A and B are shown apart, each in its own frame.
Chain A
């Protein structure tokens, strides 16, 4: 019994330093979206801001990408935010699975803004996210809602629509 307890304690400890492979691809997906979507106005100037609501390993993965890449001429800045109010003029806000409950609130607060909402939950698209990362047969896919993107005044390439699951 002592052995089993020891294993549980050790395992929980190690989980804290987990860096899952999925997060790397999610970050790369998010970066690649920017190649196919065009922002305008103030969103096209200054830093290209990607906000992540809450803690997520995607943040460090995104930071690795941001260190070597730009969106057009815009340097990429990754910020971890803890509330909807902190989104500001971010180009993209990503909600990790643990913050899915906030999705409707985020979508509603960003009406009229060009901030692209990317969710990561099975029903994210139906709750208003423009892009939703989904696992289909354990493969990392994404759903894309053209109308939700265009309603924000963003232009989206048809190539991206064909790469994702267009809804």
Chain B
């Protein structure tokens, strides 16, 4: 890691110094807003009035005319939205605040093509165009989005563990946002791997954006029990420096408290659920309970013995004393977060450099990694980062470092880890001809992850004990890319290709992109594009290496039957199924292994490393933007994306004790294995002499699948500003996804290719979703906003690791209205009603009911 830092530093210094002295005379027609704001009176006074007016136009860039908004994410250079070659949408900080949005993910509901579900108050699941939980037999952590590249000022912020986003860990709040740009569809050639369904780039306010003192706040309180405050101060000095500091605090309470149990719950001797507090709790199956007790059991029906200390009095013979308080120390709280962020800008002539840094800390209740018991888990996280980025003449640089830790409470230390990432990116903006631009670049990224899930046999919860040589993993990616942008007459052709060479797996991913746009007039742009993007390799795929042991259960009913299971006397506190084998204690051993770790194939007695084919998509898209009159404009697209090499995390080994001869092949012949493709030779002898334990072993790893989701759809936005008092934006996405080539599982839950494949419609992504946003300003200073977000019904299918889960989400319309009044220059007071129309519903199938809320707040920005 130290060598990497030195390399990056040296490269950056060379680049910076080589171009430092090349500043040339100012061309006012090429100035950006930031550069204009740095001009002195002396420079401005001597300008001709027409030049001054043109500069004023740039400074006072409209926030209402969507198509004129300057964006950078579509081609990595500033251009008007109407010219953007890809499917891009943008929302400005000002629009977000007018809408009354209380968080960054909520603000994404103002953008077409984004699916946003509130899991618990203030905690969100965000997907671009879906592809959520594509594997109906996948574990719960595959419901989170790990196919979108989320960036803050081009700094990648996904979690190294799986590539998903902890939105609550961003060091910024809405108060910090200049604008959010969303590129839909593959954007890997521009940004790198993992921009599979698209990229979200959050651009923060630059302290050089205005003169002198800057003060901002976007703060609010609401029912039920939410406090959310972002505060910032900044100063733009007369010299090239400007600074800005901000902080954010947010605390939210849950609207309704219940939990989705991931394992069947026991019933007592009278057939009742142990909780017994309400009719809802007598489930005896997976489902919601309104409260947790010590008698709720985990996903396999009993307490975990190994690699887990989820309950007090951890004695496998003493009973089942789950400590729900450890998993949920604040059952009523969905989010508690605080963060700090700093930004120093240096802007002089052709040098525009930014140094940023921040820290965040969050306790959050969300659906991510299972805590062995409920869909919701409490995660405790923190993260810090530093970033240097900007341009020196025509060279664009970015260097960032971040490190953090997270822990899912109640899973022992199985889901507790630390990570750090160092990344650098340099590209040269080479304007060869007026109509021909090349951007060659290189980047490097190295990530380290340390945690028991990557290799541990220890128990020590407090010291992160890992097995020597395990648990500490590093992966690096070296990349090169080039992007060509050629304009001739009314046409524009963009070709880009990027190569990412990974350390693990030892493979190179080539991501090409080809875009053609045709602009017959200033008001129409037509575009066609093809792109390929790969999902990045993440720690969970590569290095997962954990072994867990549970008492008293078996992985499938058929096994239970075969092993002479019977109903144990229903003494309070005991689960339903415990095998009857006097003198023999049954254990269920579950192992999860990544592709670089491999697993022991008991049949061949060899370690197997599954081939890791990175998932990728090929996407084709046609779009048109039509700037009509001020009343109405259109932005529409149709898209088709084919996904290949979907991650399939499936059972690969299943066998039972006792080993009689010590030779697996002999044992297989005499005792029988429950094994993939060979489930028929079962001759089990659990009561073999000399054995006091009866173990069932399962291993889950990645299998090579031929699953090919195919997604087709269309998005249309209609917007306009019929008068200075009114502007609107309405958008809808219609889409469908079919999962082709889906493997079938045999009775032991193995992928079994001999059973053939099937095709089915993917229902976890709604087939329609969209929103609208209206602003009405009846008198100066008063803004009335009505915005809505709607989605169709969905069915979430996944596996708890033992049981299949199928849960519905109703169609929903979330209506919000915000009235803000500017009582003094750039100071607004606002009141807002959120989700007030359609009642309390679950937006994410296995998470919280989200009700309405009413809030008031203050918005200051100058």
A residues apposed to B, CB below 8 Å? 1, 3-4, 7-8, 10-12, 14-15, 17-22, 24-25, 28-29, 31-32, 35-36, 64-65, 68-69, 122, 135, 137-140, 160, 163
Residues of A within 8 A of B827 (CB): 11-12, 15
Chain A CB within 8 A of B522 CB: no
Bound: A64/B212 CA distance, A: 15
Beta-carbon contact of A138 and B826 below 8 Å: no
**Residue among B37, B64, B229, B724 making CB contact with A7, cutoff 8 Å:** B229
Chain B residues with CB under 8 A of A8:
217, 858
With A4-B227, A122-B780 known to touch, is A11 a contact of B45 (CB < 8 Å)? no
Note all chain A residues with C-beta closer than 8 A to B61: 138-139
- B822 smallest CB distance to A (angstroms): 12
Given the known inter-chain contacts A20-B825, A135-B60, A138-B62, please indicate yes or no for A28 contacting B215, CB distance below 8 A: no
CA A21 – CA B33 in complex, angstroms? Answer: 12
- Residue interface mask B380-415, A partner, CB < 8 A = 1: 000000000000000000000000000000000000
B221 at the interface (CB under 8 A from A): yes
CA distance A127 to B144 in the complex (A): 59
Contacts of B42 in A (CB 8 A): 68
Residues of B within 8 A of A (CB): 37, 41-42, 44-45, 49-50, 52-53, 56-57, 59-65, 68, 210-213, 215-217, 219, 221, 227, 229, 231, 233, 249, 721, 724, 780, 824-827, 858, 860, 862
Q: A11-B858, A31-B45, A135-B60 are in contact. List 5 more A-B contacts (CB 8 A).
A: A7-B231, A11-B827, A15-B827, A19-B211, A137-B64
Asked if A15 meets B825 with Cβ closer than 8 Å, knowing A4-B227, A20-B210, the reply is yes
User: Lowest 10 A-B CB distances belong to which pairs?
Assistant: A14-B215, A137-B62, A139-B60, A32-B49, A19-B212, A11-B860, A138-B62, A140-B56, A25-B56, A139-B57
Do B63 and A138 touch across chains, with their CB atoms under 8 A apart? yes
Contact of A11 among B59, B217, B249, B780 (CB under 8 A): B217
CA distance A22 to B825 in the complex (A): 12
**Judging by beta carbons under 8 Å apart, are A163 and B215 in contact?**
no
Chain B residues with Cβ below 8 Å from A35 are 49
A19 in contact with B213 given A7-B229, A35-B49, A163-B50 (CB within 8 Å) = yes
A22 to B229 Cα, complex, angstroms: 28
Chain B residue with the shortest CB-CB distance to A1? B221
Q: List 28 A-B contacts (CB under 8 A).
A: A4-B229, A7-B229, A11-B215, A11-B217, A12-B827, A15-B862, A17-B212, A17-B213, A18-B212, A19-B211, A20-B210, A20-B825, A20-B862, A21-B37, A21-B59, A21-B210, A24-B41, A24-B44, A25-B59, A25-B60, A31-B45, A65-B45, A122-B780, A137-B65, A138-B62, A138-B63, A139-B60, A140-B60
Say yes or no: B215 contacts A15, CB within 8 Å: yes
Complex-state Cα separation, A21 to B780, whole angstroms: 20
A interface: dominant SS: helix
Contacts of B249 in A (CB 8 A): 3
Chain B: minimal CB distance from A91 (Å): 18
Q: Which residues of B contact A36 (CB under 8 A)?
A: 49
Expressed in whole angstroms, the Cα–Cα distance for A69 and B41 within the complex equals 11
For residue B83, give the distance in angstroms from its CB to the closest CB of chain A: 18
State whether B56 touches A139 (Cβ < 8 A). yes
The CB with the most chain A CB atoms within 10 A, among B57, B60, B65, B827, is that of: B60
A37–chain B nearest beta-carbon distance, Å:
12
A59 CB → nearest B CB, Å: 14
**Chain A residues with CB below 8 A from B221, complex form:** 1, 4
A25 to B825 alpha-carbon distance, docked (Å): 17
Give the Cβ gap from A115 to chain B, nearest Cβ, in Å. Answer: 21
| Interface contact tally, CB-CB below 8 A | 108
| Complex: chain A residue closest to B228, CB-CB | A4
Which residues of chain B are near A12, meaning CB under 8 Å?
827
A57 closest partner in B (C-beta): B825
Do residues B860 and A32 form an inter-chain contact, with CB atoms below 8 A?
no
Give the CA-CA distance A92 to B462 in the complex, in Å: 75
CB distance from A50 to the nearest CB of B (A): 15
| Distance (whole angstroms) from the CB of A45 to the closest CB of chain B | 23
- Residues in chain A near residue B217, CB distance under 8 A: 7-8, 11
How far apart are B94's CB and chain A's nearest CB, in angstroms?
9
- Contact of B860 with A28 in the complex, beta carbons under 8 Å: no
Instruction: State A137–B49 Cα separation when bound (angstroms).
Output: 20
Q: How far is the CA of A44 from the CA of B371 in the complex (A)?
A: 83
- A18→B827 CA distance, assembly (Å): 11
**Given A7-B858, A25-B56 in contact, is the A69-B45 Cβ separation under 8 Å?**
yes
Contacting residues, chain A, for B216 (C-beta < 8 A): 11
Q: A68 touching B41 by the CB < 8 A rule?
A: yes
How far apart are B209's CB and chain A's nearest CB, in angstroms?
9
- Docked complex Cα distance between A160 and B231 (Å): 43
- Which of B53, B63, B780, B862 contacts A18 (CB under 8 A)? B862
Q: In the assembled complex, how far is the CB of residue B479 from the closest CB belonging to chain A, in whole angstroms?
A: 39
User: Which residues of chain B are near A32, meaning CB under 8 Å?
Assistant: 49, 52
Q: How far, in Å, is A164 (CB) from chain B's closest CB? A: 9
Residues of B close to A20: CB separation below 8 A: 210-211, 825-826, 862
Structural contact, A14 and B233, CB atoms closer than 8 A: yes
For the complex, give the distance between the alpha carbons of A12 and B724 in Å.
Answer: 28
Q: Which of A1, A12, A15 has most B Cβ within 10 Å?
A: A15
Determine if B213 and A18 form an interchain contact, defined as CB atoms under 8 angstroms apart. Answer: yes
Given the known inter-chain contacts A11-B860, A15-B862, A24-B211, please indicate yes or no for A68 contacting B59, CB distance below 8 A. Answer: no
